[in-house]
Structure 1
C-alpha cells in the first residue's frame, strides 16, 4: 500500500488562486483513492511548524501545494545542521502560486497525480545563506531557487504586497505584474557599494545594481538569466549587474524576459561553491521570493542534499 503523503497547502498562494486549485486537486486525490493528510497554513512560517511536527511524527513523503515562498518555509523545517532530518524524506512540489520558479528547473515533469503516486526521486542541490535578520540577529536560511540583493529584492517587496488594480493585473499575468513592480522599484533605487568574494577570491569594491545567487535561473514569472543550471553539479551560479542609472535599469528589463541579459556589458556571470558579499549600504536580501534580512552575506552549496519527486 502506498504510504500517506503529508500535504501542506497555502490557499493564499497565487494571490488566492491556490484555494480553487486545491479544491480541484483534492477531488482528483479522492477520485484516485490516494492516501494523504492535508493541513492548511494560516500565517507566515506556519509551513515550517507543520513540517517539523510531521517529520517528528514519522512522515517521510511531503507534498507542498503552494508557491515558492511556502516551499522555502518547508525547507527550514526539514533541514538541521545542513542535513535533512530523515534520510528517507522525499519532497513533492505542486506549483499553485504566482511564479513557481522551482517548477521551471526541470524539463520533464509528471502530472500532479502521477507525482504523488511515484516512488522514484532525484537528489538535487540546495544552498544556504548566513545573514542578519531585520532586527540585526545573525541567522541562516536554506534556499532552493535563488536569492537576490539589490533592485530585484526591492521589486520583490513590491511584488509581494500588491493591491487593488495591480493585484488584478498580477493574477491575470505574472509577467505584467512583475514589470509594474519592477518599474516602481527602479524609481526608488540607487546602486550600492559592495565587496564580493567568490570561492574566497576577492572582487574589488564596486557599485552594484543587483547580485543574484541561484540554482534556478528563472524569477518573477518568465524573467531569466539565460543560464541552463544543473541541479546536482555542486555549484552556485552568480550574476551581478554593475551600478547604473534608473534609465539604464529600465533598459535592461527586456533582456531579462528574453534571457539575454548576460550579453550586456554591465552583467557578469560566475560559478562557485561559496560566495560572500559585504556592504555598508542599506540593501535588502531576498530568498526564494521572500525578503528576510540584510548583509553581510555568505552563501554555501549543499550538494545533492534533497530528494525530490518530479
Structure 2
C-alpha cells in the first residue's frame, strides 16, 4: 500500500478570514515549479482579485442607484396622488353645488355621471397614495380609538358592496361584544377590499359569507367565497402590489386592494391569511385586542368618504 502524507494549508477568504484546507496526497516526489511559473500564477491571481473587487463595486453602486430611483419614483407618485386628490375634492364640491341649483332630468343625470367618475378616480388616487406610503416605509397611517360603533360601520360597508353588486348573495354574521381599539375607517376599507375581491373573483352563483366576531383577546374578520382552488403559485403572490386575483376576470382596478389590506393589517399589528380549498377561498384578518388603553389619534389622516377598492 502506497504511503500517504497529509498537508494542511490555510486558505484566505474575503474579509481576511482564513480556513484550513486538508489535502491527502501520495508520498511521491513533487516537481517544483519554476520562478517564472510562480510569478505568472501570482499575476493571474492578482488580476482575478482586482476584477472581482471592481465587479463588487459596480454591483453595489447599481443597487444603490436602483434604490434611489425607486424612492424618487414612489415619492413622485405620492406627491402626484396628493395633488390629484385635492383637485378631485374641488370637482366633488362643485358638483354638489350644481346639484342644488338644477332640477331638470338631463342636468341631474349629467351631474350623477360626473359624481360617479369622480368617485372612481378618487378611489384610484387613494389606492396609489396608500401604495406609495407602504412602499416608502411609512406604513399606512392610523387614527386609533376605542370604537363602540364598529359593527355599524362594517354593516354599512357590506350594504354598500351589496348595492354595487346587487345580483350577488352576501350574508353576514357580526358579533362584536367589546369595544375595539382600531382605526375604524381603515378596518372598513380592509373589509371593503376583501369583500370586493370576493364578489369580483368568486363564483357568481355562490354565496359570499362575511363573519366578524370579537372576544376579550381577539378580533377576527373573515370573508369566504365559492370557486375553484387558487393555484399555489398565485396564492403566494396575492398580497403583492398589482396582483389581479386568482382567475382570469377582467378586473378594471389597479390590483392594489389585497396589498393595501395587508398593509392595513400590518399597521394594526394583526395577521391576514388566505386558505383555498377545493370549493372555496377564505381570507381571515385577526388582531389582538389591546389590554391597555391607547392614546387617541396615534396618527391622523384627513377623513373622507368610504370608498370601495379593487
Which structure is richer in relative contact order (CA contacts within 8 A, separation 6 or more)?
1
Larger radius of gyration: 2
Same fold (TM over 0.5): no
Structure with more of its chain in helix, by fraction:
2
* Shorter-chain TM-score range: under 0.3
TM-score (norm 2): 0.23
Higher share in strand: 1
